């Protein structure tokens, strides 16, 4: 289908260059020859659509008008944060990462009060681990 549309475009380029005046003939044919491959390259690849399919009409219209050709957009996707990292870490405004300390949840009878109080305070994450945590929280920084 794309080949047949390319042939139609080539036929249009020939008829347009024949109908133009002799002074602008070389310019118009050169412009049409340059624009036709761009339109064919931008056309989406599709399996042979049926004659009743509306998309084939839209494709032909887009190919016949190279100035209004389809725009190609690179659509990225929104990265999700890792839920476990969201629960366990907090990123401050200056980029430092806070975390809670381990060994406070159970078996506290054999730990003295000073140790339990110290384990209840937050500490900062540093180095390569901090970079890994920030990369797992894409929308948070």
Is residue 104 within 8 A of residue 120, CB to CB? The reply is: yes
**What pTM value is reported for the model?**
0.41
pLDDT of residue 41: 53
- What whole-number distance in Å separates Cα of residue 134 and Cα of residue 97? 8
Tokens at 108, concatenated: 């506290």
The structural domains of the chain, ordered by start, are 2-68 (no CATH), 83-135 (4.10.410.60)
Residues of the chain with pLDDT under 50: 23, 31, 36, 38-39
pLDDT of residue 109: 92
Helix (H), strand (E) counts: the chain: 6, 3
β-bridge partners, 128: none
β-bridge partners, 125: 97
């Amino acid at each position: 289908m794309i080949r047949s549309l390319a042939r139609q475009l080539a036929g249009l380029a020939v008829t347009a260059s024949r109908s133009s005046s002799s002074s602008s003939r070389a310019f118009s044919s050169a412009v049409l020859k340059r624009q036709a491959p761009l339109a064919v390259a931008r056309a989406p690849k599709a399996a042979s659509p049926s004659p009743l399919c509306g998309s084939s009409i839209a494709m032909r219209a887009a190919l016949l008008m190279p100035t209004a050709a389809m725009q190609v957009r690179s659509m990225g996707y929104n990265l999700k944060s890792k839920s476990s990292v969201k629960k366990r870490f907090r990123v401050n405004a200056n980029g430092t990462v806070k975390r809670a300390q381990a060994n406070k949840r159970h078996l506290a009878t054999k730990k003295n009060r000073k140790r339990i109080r110290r384990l209840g305070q937050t500490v900062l994450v540093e180095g390569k681990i901090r970079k890994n945590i920030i990369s797992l929280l894409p929308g948070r920084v």
